[in-house]
Chains A and B, each alone.
Chain A
Amino acid sequence: MSRTLLTIWLKELKDAIRDRRSLMAAMSYAFFGPMLMAVAFFAVVKEATSESDLKVQLEGQEYAPELVEFLQHKGILAATEEDLDTGIKLIIPADYQERLAAAKAVSITVRADYSERKNSSNRQRVERALTEYNQVVASARLMMRGISPEVMYAVVAERQDTATKESRAALIMGTVMVFVLMSVFFAGMNVAIDTSAGERERNSLEFLLAQPVRLIDLVTGKALAASTFAMLGGALTLIMIPAVFLFVPLEKLGIDISFGFGKQVMLALVLIPLAILASALQLFVSFMAKSFKEAQTYITFVMFAPMTIVFVLEFTRFSHAALDYLPVTSQHQVLLGSINGEPVSVLAMAIGALGTLAVAALILLAVQWKLRSEKAVFGL
């Protein structure tokens, strides 16, 4: 590294650190991002854990103790006095035992507001439980009459739920990791704009370009300053994540996250090439702009690209071997791999990092090439 590069890097950093407002802006994302996430998780966790206990109002439960017991096994409990109205009411008729003994159909009323969408899975659950109980009783009757209950089943659908605790954890943590990736793009943005479009706006660009400095040193120094901030944001987000989980009862979901210091350091290292790429991209765009405001507008557009890639991958669960090696997706895979128990190989990680740095270098070359043009510099 040339000393000139170091000089530029340090000077830009000093300038950026003194800019309290952009410092706060950068770091507040890293800080509030995980907080927002925590709030969202609270909702998710609550929703997911409510599955185990469903309370319904039971009328006439004294007529059918076996049925009530069966329902209890299925997690459907009788609501007590102090429970609020659960919206579902089961009415067991008084002649339940009599009709059962006579092998006649017993009708059990499931009373609920069937137009209410929120309760539909609960209603289905109750009805499913009743159907199952019906089969148990019917099978017993057939057996007593010397007929195999199997005659009742011509075709059986066998459901295999592949959702495991791990995959559920991956879904949630995947969102967390998108936040981490995004923090790298957001935290350095202000610095990137200030060292490029800002330099032009305050009329210091011409003087700087007239110094005996190789353009590539100049551009790289500025990119490194911005990516230092980007990394700071990324690291802060990584540090915040375990803190957030202290407040979120993930263990209720059966999610076990070991997010120790070692892993944080590893992930931070993986983010470094991405931070440089993000800053290079932002420099490229904002050197084209004539003012700070203009640059902000352009950058917003450019940020869509990597974000879209990550979000699409996150929600479609698309996977392909190449994703392990490409910029942005490689880092995303490593982050995901660190939580879903399918770690990316060291080789893929290295190739991904080098590839990302190569793309960043190409962009920086393009930036310095642009700065050679008098049109770009003086806006002639």
Chain B
Amino acid sequence: MIEVTELRKTYKEVTALNGLTFNANDGEITGLLGPNGAGKTTCLRSLYGLIKPDSGRVQVDGLSPVTEPIEVRRSIGIFPDKFGLHERLTAREHIRYIAELHGFRGEAMLEQVDRVIAELKMTDIADRRTQGFSQGQRMKVALAQAIVHQPKNLILDEPSRGLDVMSTRILRELMFGLREQGRCILFSSHVMQEVAALCDRVVIMVQGQVVANDSPAALCAMTGKASFEDAFVQLIGTDEGIMA
């Protein structure tokens, strides 16, 4: 459960977040949709406490990332904006490292790592060094690192960029699976098809503010448009920076 209330953040002349308010519920996939520069990444970074908002409140399962960053980070899995891998370590070593940072040791740790490797169907690449991995393979490693500790909340920043069809399917199945388990999934995107296909709830963000917050179907009904795309364009007032 992620609650964002009246979040504001200003860099010198740019207002990244301007009173952002929304909730992402457990057992739901929430999509944060907005054009480039809408403040999506800033919002997500403030959820795990790497960016301190000027005002407003973030609560993850009732805890604030500003005052209790460590506890908050224990309960979330992160698929960041940029995920770099250590070329000299194998995929398995990457996953183990994160599992250990989350406090798993010995048998329990190995179990978690094996489970996630099987779940993401990456047994074939698990013991290869990540140097020379394809974008899809790199994404799998990053995803495995995000969910190895079975977080209650999963935050993904533009997870589908640069993925092939197979990887996209794996990602989608993974998100559906986690939703079944009652976890809270929040992801950002500027790709409408993806959001429309995946999300239970869409939060549309423009210039650091929420302009709409409902299910894709409800948004279409609200604007009176047949397709989600038209609804979206009408809501943000432009089609700039959006991919169909």
Residues of A within 8 A of B (CB): 3-4, 7-8, 11, 14-15, 18-19, 199, 201-207, 209-214, 374, 377-378, 380
B residues in contact with A380, CB < 8 Å: 11
CA distance A112 to B51 in the complex (A): 81
A residues in contact with B78, CB < 8 Å: 207, 210
CB-based contact A204/B97 at 8 Å: no
With A211-B73, A212-B74 as known contacts, state yes or no: A7 contacts B83, CB within 8 Å.
Answer: no
CB-based contact A14/B82 at 8 Å: no
CB-based contact A19/B100 at 8 Å: no
22 contacting pairs across A/B (C-beta < 8 A): A4-B100, A4-B103, A11-B93, A15-B86, A199-B84, A201-B84, A202-B86, A203-B82, A204-B85, A206-B45, A207-B80, A207-B145, A209-B50, A211-B73, A211-B98, A212-B73, A212-B103, A213-B70, A374-B45, A374-B51, A377-B50, A378-B45
Q: Which of A202, A204, A212, A380 has the most CB of B within 10 A?
A: A212
Could you give, for residues 130-150 of chain B, a 1 whenever the CB lies within 8 Å of some chain A CB and a 0 otherwise? 000000000000100100000
CA distance A7 to B97 in the complex (A): 7
Which one of A7, A15, A214, A377 contacts B89 once the chains associate, using CB atoms below 8 Å?
A: A15
CB-based contact B86/A210 at 8 Å: no
Which one of B45, B84, B88, B101 contacts A19 once the chains associate, using CB atoms below 8 Å?
A: B88
CA distance A15 to B103 in the complex (A): 21
CA distance A4 to B105 in the complex (A): 10
A residues in contact with B98, CB < 8 Å: 211
Which one of B84, B89, B103 contacts A203 once the chains associate, using CB atoms below 8 Å?
A: B84
8 extra interchain contacts, Cβ-Cβ under 8 A, other than A3-B105, A207-B84, A210-B80?
A11-B97, A14-B89, A15-B88, A18-B89, A204-B86, A207-B142, A212-B70, A212-B71
CB-based contact B51/A204 at 8 Å: no
A residues in contact with B70, CB < 8 Å: 212-214
Least CB distance, A11 to chain B, in whole angstroms: 5
CB-based contact A206/B80 at 8 Å: yes
Least CB distance, B139 to chain A, in whole angstroms: 13
Is B48 positioned at the interface, with any CB of A under 8 Å from its CB?
A: yes
Closest to B16 in A: A380
CB-based contact A210/B97 at 8 Å: no
Is B127 positioned at the interface, with any CB of A under 8 Å from its CB?
A: no
With A204-B84, A204-B86 as known contacts, state yes or no: A210 contacts B50, CB within 8 Å.
Answer: yes
B residues in contact with A377, CB < 8 Å: 50
Least CB distance, A290 to chain B, in whole angstroms: 14
CB-based contact B86/A206 at 8 Å: no
Least CB distance, B29 to chain A, in whole angstroms: 21
Least CB distance, B102 to chain A, in whole angstroms: 6
B residues in contact with A206, CB < 8 Å: 45, 50, 80-82
A residues in contact with B87, CB < 8 Å: 202
| B residues 105-122 in Cβ contact with A at 8 Å | 105
CA distance A3 to B101 in the complex (A): 9
CB-based contact A4/B101 at 8 Å: yes
Which one of A15, A199, A203 contacts B83 once the chains associate, using CB atoms below 8 Å?
A: A203
CA distance A4 to B74 in the complex (A): 13
Least CB distance, A10 to chain B, in whole angstroms: 9
CA distance A133 to B114 in the complex (A): 94
B residues in contact with A199, CB < 8 Å: 84
B residues in contact with A211, CB < 8 Å: 73, 98, 101-102
A residues in contact with B201, CB < 8 Å: none
Least CB distance, B137 to chain A, in whole angstroms: 16
Is B152 positioned at the interface, with any CB of A under 8 Å from its CB?
A: no
Least CB distance, B147 to chain A, in whole angstroms: 13
CA distance A214 to B105 in the complex (A): 18
Is B52 positioned at the interface, with any CB of A under 8 Å from its CB?
A: yes
B residues in contact with A4, CB < 8 Å: 100-101, 103
Which one of B82, B84, B86, B101 contacts A213 once the chains associate, using CB atoms below 8 Å?
A: B101
B residues in contact with A207, CB < 8 Å: 78, 80, 82-84, 142, 145
CA distance A206 to B49 in the complex (A): 11
CB-based contact A202/B101 at 8 Å: no
B residues in contact with A214, CB < 8 Å: 70
Least CB distance, B85 to chain A, in whole angstroms: 7
